Amino acid sequence: AKRLYDVTLAPDEADMLDWDKPIFQQSDKIINALVDAEYNTPDFQQFTKTNPSMGTREQLESDFRYEEKTGEEWYQALVKEKGSEEAASRYLFSIGIPGITYEGTSSGERNYVMFDDSQVQINQMYQSAKGSIHWENGRAIISLFRNADASTGIHELLGHYMTQNLLDLGAQ
């Protein structure tokens, strides 16, 4: 079923990894989160010990500020490193990046993928009707609309017709 939701997102767009932009064009919050996460890895700490002049946080941040990989390319590399999209997404959430934003290919609108449901508040859900049922002279009239599918008839029969009949029997 097609559904449209009106939602409020807890984080700002600048808090999210932009799928389409190169890393160097991401917000300062994103760059700092990525730099801090990389700087605190055991591998980088080892690198710092053997290369003190190159292994500074400032040097690492400078490297990120010139990184040309897009958010998507960086995320896909993280998926390979972490073993799955779920692990990569959990990792990003753990370092303060709550989701991804990208431009929709068909709509041109900004789309959002949140890594945690608690970051989304659903204000309203819109769903196009596929069928209806009403009663005339004791008979059920089921209407199926153009966008109806195989489940619509079942829904109207089991979801509405049978429920109404059970309620009517219970009232007797």
Q: Which residue bears the tokens 């590399």?
A: 77
Residue 4 has pLDDT above 90, yes or no: no
CB 42 within 8 A of CB 104: no
> How many Å apart are CA 69 and CA 54, to the nearest integer?
21
How far, in Å, CA of 112 to CA of 15, rounded? 11
Q: What pLDDT, in 10s, does the model give residues 73-124?
A: 999 999 999 999 999 999 999 999 999 999 988 777 889 999 999 999 988 8
At 146, the pLDDT band (50, 70, 90 cuts) reads confident
pLDDT > 90: percent of the chain: 37
pLDDT class of 3 with cuts at 50, 70, 90: low
pLDDT value at 70 more than 60? yes
Q: Over the chain, what is the mean pLDDT? A: 86
pTM of the model: 0.66
Q: DSSP labels for 110-168?
A: EEEEESSGGGEEEEEEEE---EEEEEETTEEEEEE-TT--HHHHHIIIIIIIHHHHHHH
pLDDT band at 50 (very low <50, low <70, confident <90, very high): confident
Burial bucket for residue 94 (CB in 10 Å: 0-12, 13-18, 19+): exposed
Mean pLDDT score, 19-48: 88
Averaged pLDDT, 30-41 = 87
Across 143-153, average pLDDT: 83
pLDDT value, residue 100: 96
- Closest alpha carbon to 75 in 97, 59, 55: 97
**Count of C-beta atoms within a 10 Å radius of residue 45:** 11
Alpha helices in 40-126 (DSSP H): 42-50, 57-65, 71-82, 85-94
Environment class of residue 66 by beta-carbon count within 10 Å: exposed (0-12), middle (13-18) or buried (19+)? exposed
Q: Which has more confidence, 26 or 139?
A: 26
Residue 167 has a pLDDT of 83
Q: Residue 2: its pLDDT value, please?
A: 60
